[in-house]
Homo-oligomer: A and B are copies of this chain.
Amino acid sequence: MESGLLIVISGPSGSGKGTICKKLIEEMDNIKVSISATTRKPRTGELEGRNYFFLDEESFLKKIKNNEFIEYACVYGNYYGTLKNEVLKELENGKDIILEIDIQGALNVKNNYPNGVFIFILPPSIEELKNRIVGRGTDSKEVILKRMQCVYDELNYAFQYDYVVLNDEIEIAVNKIKNIISAEKNKAMRNQKLIQKIQEV
């Protein structure tokens, strides 16, 4: 059996990557989202072990020291990270895993797992992105301003990803990602066993 795909989905804050990942999980078989660990405080409705593993800073730093993360990053003063033991076993079992992580984290994963599939979600425009972050109502004006300043620079990182997907209409964006996943499963380098099997007589 070929191993599963590690699908890294990221993009600027407010690009809609969370909603896209939720729909992918709902609509596709054999795929699951990896739960990140974070030191950020839970938002209303967020559950331990479902949205995140919520850790205090001391525990998080200890896991960094023990090399338990595929990637971790400090964003807006909070740590976020992906635990190795949450991901690698599933991939070996042929399960596709989505990592929904920020750009810093994604580039770290790329260094360690270049065979991953790296997808950057593009907002339709800077202006639309601002409206979305404001509309979410979870962030202060100061935080929003700080985030908008980052967006320009973050978009330049898109070129370090394999794919970019415009999140203008959510259904179209989700379908494009499904097509990317299908295509990646047909990559020659991921089908060595199949080719060998055909050569057998």
Contacts and interface: CB of A to CB of B under 8 A. Distances in A.
Given A179-B183, A182-B179, A124 B195 contact: no
A120 interface: yes
Contacts of A161: 188
Contact of A180 (B159, B166, B186, B201): B186
Interface string A172-201: 000010111011101111011011001111
B195 A158 contact: yes
Contact of A188 (B126, B164, B178): B164
B166 A188 contact: no
Total copies of the chain: 2
A198 B125 contact: yes
A122 interface: yes
B188 A120 contact: yes
Contacts of A201: 125-127
Interface string A141-170: 000000000001001001111111110000
A123 interface: yes
Contacts of A126: 198-201
Interface of A: 120, 122-127, 152, 155, 158-166, 176, 178-180, 182-184, 186-189, 191-192, 194-195, 198-201
24 contacts: A123-B198, A125-B200, A126-B198, A126-B200, A126-B201, A127-B201, A152-B199, A155-B195, A155-B199, A158-B188, A158-B195, A159-B188, A162-B188, A163-B187, A164-B187, A164-B188, A164-B194, A176-B186, A178-B179, A180-B182, A180-B183, A180-B186, A182-B183, A183-B183
